[in-house]
Structure 1
Amino acid sequence: MSKNPNLQSLRSVKELKYVNADNVTRYRAIMRYLYQQYQKLNYWLKPEQIYNGLMAWNLLKTYTLEQCQIDLDQLVEWGNLNSRHDGGRAVTVEEYLRKKSQYLITPYSIEIERLLGNLETVRGYGGSLEPTLFDTIGNILSIIREKAGLYTAGEALELWNNLFESFQKLHEASVDYIASLQTGTAEELMATDAFLLYKDSITRYLQDFVQALQRRSYKIEGALKQMTDEETQRFFQAVIDDEGRIPKLDEQVSPEQQFDELADKWDGLYRWFVGKGDSGSELMMLERASKDAIMKIVRSVVRIQERKRSGISRRKELDYLGQWFYRLDKLNEAHKLAAYAFGLFSARHLQGEDNRESDSQEQSMWKEVPIPRTLRSRSRKKNERQDTEAVIDRSRQKEAMREAFRLQHRRELEFLIKMVAAEEVRISQLDVISTETRLQILYWIGRCNASSTSSFQTPEGIEIQLHQPAQGERAILLSEDGRLELLDYRFNFRVVNESAWGDLLIGLEAS
């Protein structure tokens, strides 16, 4: 909202020296008195008036008029005061001999004192969320578009002042209020039970602001986008003309500088509501920050409530729920009640052997074969020491598993030998096959489809080539565990490694 700094704006501020000088109490007392008199329309003051005003505060016990005169001259040197010769008639010899002057606080020092006065009242970020400012800004922009550059004397300046004051108040107050919710004091309050008294009002306050922002900001955004550069320049020129009608005796600003300042402020207004280039608007950032604040409040309230509930006995509730389960006759009804009462449980990954009886995806999980899994106790209480047990001999189970694996591998090799002998086979040509053979064929199809050449080589030295049907014909693969509809694939089998394949056949016949 402000233009880039230049060397003049980055100079050392000598007018602030009195704030941290050695005699800071005396300097600040003089400046505060002159600022108060300025507000009372008393501008040029004599050293005696300033000295008597300071002594009336009863703060500087040993302060003299000579010291006051020295301090005034120092403030003039720093640029905080303007001085002029006092042409009044001298009444005493001391007044005649002393160089008589009058002092006026400078505009720069007025802003410094105004800032220091505001800083004394700061008790936090403060701020507020005022949705009505959106209506004010939107209505002013609508009037500017309707006027189309035809303004009465003073009308454009009044519209500009109201527009920018409302925008500045909206921006600063809203940002300060959102920042107040991020302070350490707010964090501490959100962790206490007392926050429950405020959470409804704060949440409703933020929600009303977000809703007003969403409903009314589009009017402002649309008005800014629809305004042409010509309309904007005519409005700026009308504001500059109104400024020129106000007689000013201090330093004059050229119309070009005024136009650049208005353009910079208008650009800040446009970027705040609409954005520019790839960067989003600050309005969207404010909306996101308001929503984040609502979520933060809700999370804090949930934590407080959970902490309060953790110390309450739920024995009666659980007993009632247990009796409710006991009265149910059907398992599905119990499943539904558990879902309503407990919701989804967090997932736990347990290691085990998955012995599925079917590959159907439609089979319910409740019909699956359970996998026994022994869980160790997590109790902190140490178990009694037990005697060391001998290692269990599982050689028989291992030998049974080896024999089952050898038989399965032999059946797979026999089917592969049968296919190699046929050299070319289609899915539609197969008879009823076993479940193991069906899984073997699906494995071949998956390996071929994953290859760029639609083929792969088995460890036995057989190359299997897969061909898809030209017209997309489909076939039914019949197996012991059901029917599977798929494309009528064609397989070609070719022996790549003759020696390895011959040794395998000899070994298979010998066994």
Structure 2
Amino acid sequence: MNTSESLSITTTFSITDRLPIFSYLVSSNRIRWYRVIMRTFLQHHRELYSYQLTAHEVRDAVRVAFDPNYNLEQCQNDLLALKEWGNVTTIYDSSHASSIASFLSPALLYQATPEAIAIETFLDEQNHASAAQGSLRQGDLPRLWQALQTIDEGLQATALDASPTLGRELAEEWQRAFEVWNTMAREAAQYLANMINAAQQSYTDLEAFQQYKSAVVAYVHGFAQALTQYSRRIREQLAAWDTTDKQKHLISIIAQYLEPPTPTAENRRSPVELRQEAANQVEALVNWFAEGKNADSFRRNALAEVDKVVRRASTLAAATRPSANYATHLHTLARHLLTTRDGEEAQQLFSVAFANHAPIHLPESLVGTPGTTPDTWSVSPWQEAPEVTVHLKPVNRSNRGNLPLEDPIIDNRNIIRELVMQHETRLQAQREHIARLFASPSLDIGAMCSISTDDRAVLMEIIDACLGHPSCQYRALDGSTITLLNVDEQVYTLLEADDGLLFLPRYQLTRQVPASLRAQEEMPETQDNT
């Protein structure tokens, strides 16, 4: 079989054909809307574990993120184009059908295909690749060692009992251990690369760099010690597997459960390819912990970068340390004193430099010729002419006409009165509907032959509220509590009204009335009897 025959023609990512699934990335006029829509599917898939979205939810997401004027028709057209390209699939949503028309033509739910999620995940990883900081996952080393111990025990158990259950559990444990190691190695390499890049930058803040040095030294040394401790154990464990043929047995088990079963045989890889991938995984882990390989090289490079950080901190501290050359300081002080024309300023410089008060009498060459005019003849600043002329506005009635008018006080009493009347009207209408529906404390929908449209609307509101409440209860406006008894009812019934039939489960509801409300309901009956 040649290479072209071994490739599946029905796969999305074919080698020679055009790939329509990438069309939304290169479309000339709607690319921005397509990108936001697929990004929305990725966020719901990754963060909210919500895989199926309605057109209204997609439209709202695009409005918030990009286009406030985005309407439902444009959203449906964009989703239709993405469906034709293979980015999304559609299914019918008949779970919220409340009438025969909505049941016969249910709404559509849109779901991103696995290939589209893979593309968006790759694009997201590329966006965050430059911002990744990396980390030294010290806690992953004991987790990896514990997983390898569990695998060693599983290999001994499968040698005695080769059941499919034990083999599958052993393969799943290996996949968890391999993922832990892969993440730890990738994050450690990224952290070391960031340390190398940071060493090329210049720092001026000594205190901040000293804190950075202390954190880096403790962080890297802790990981290096843990890596030294667990590398030897893991290396010996993997060597023991190689000498006792456990490694070959593990590769066989991994290859057997490496790929889940697919609906079509064309997409399934051959046993030779699966065994080669399993062998590559085991070999990658063995080589990383081999003596003198990645683990030892990373430990040496990390400690070398820590040494650079320590030496740079010492150099920065020496550069910012004050110099002890007193001759230079005295020369600088003398030049400042020579250029000073004020005796008080010269005295302050002398006090700061020698931590002592300057002499009372200074030479004329420093402070100048003493004056003979007494200070009592000096003019007070308050007696001098003002430099700024203040203009005050006259206080009379002619200047009061241009005062700003305040907004009138809004009278909310009419608005509040209308809101109260609307609430009372709605409460009275709901009381009448509930009184007709719950003539008795319990209500069986299957026992009802017909119902009015208004009563049916109130009944559907009560049922929807009960289905959405954790306790399956509805709090009416009059204070009564209505409880739905059989949420998982499988028997359906027809509810006849003037505008058609409603097909729904045969729900049973009960109404609990408070004592105060029961007294108010019984009071009119007593007055009528009187």
Which protein shows a greater Rg? 1
TM-score between both structures, scaled by the size of structure 1: 0.49
